[in-house]
Chain A
Amino acid sequence: MSATETPQQEAEHGHHPTARDYVNIAVILGILTALEVSTYFFEFGPLGVPMLIVLMVIKFLLVVGWFMHLRFDTKVFSRLMYTGLAFALVLYSITLAALYLDNFSAMT
Chain B
Amino acid sequence: MAAGAHETSLGIDHRKLGMWTFLGSEFLFFGAFLATFLLYVQTTAGGPGVEIFDIPFTSISSFVLLMSSLTMVLAHNAHTQGDLRRMRMWILATAGQGAVFLGGQVFEFNVFVREGLTFGTSPFATSFYVLTGFHGAHVFIGILLLLTLYTFSLTGKVKPNQPLKTEMIGLYWHFVDIVWVVLFTVVYLIPELTVLD
Residues in B whose Cβ lies below 8 Å from that of A1: 11
Please pick, from B35, B171, B193, the residue contacting A92 in the complex, using a CB distance under 8 A: B35
The minimal Cβ–Cβ distance linking A1 to chain B, given in whole angstroms, is 5
The minimal Cβ–Cβ distance linking B182 to chain A, given in whole angstroms, is 6
Q: Contact between A81 and B24 (Cβ–Cβ < 8 Å)?
A: yes
Q: Contact between B35 and A95 (Cβ–Cβ < 8 Å)?
A: yes
Count residues on chain B whose CB falls below 8 Å from chain A CBs: 57
Q: Contact between B5 and A10 (Cβ–Cβ < 8 Å)?
A: yes
Please pick, from B25, B55, B171, the residue contacting A40 in the complex, using a CB distance under 8 A: B55
The minimal Cβ–Cβ distance linking B92 to chain A, given in whole angstroms, is 17
The SS class assigned to the B binding surface is helix
The SS class assigned to the A binding surface is helix
Q: Contact between A99 and B39 (Cβ–Cβ < 8 Å)?
A: yes
Count residues on chain A whose CB falls below 8 Å from chain B CBs: 54
Binding site for B on A (CB under 8 A): 1, 3-8, 10-11, 16, 18-19, 22-23, 25-26, 29-30, 33, 36-37, 39-40, 48-49, 52-53, 55-56, 59-60, 63-64, 66-69, 74, 76-77, 80-81, 83-85, 87-89, 91-92, 95-96, 99-100
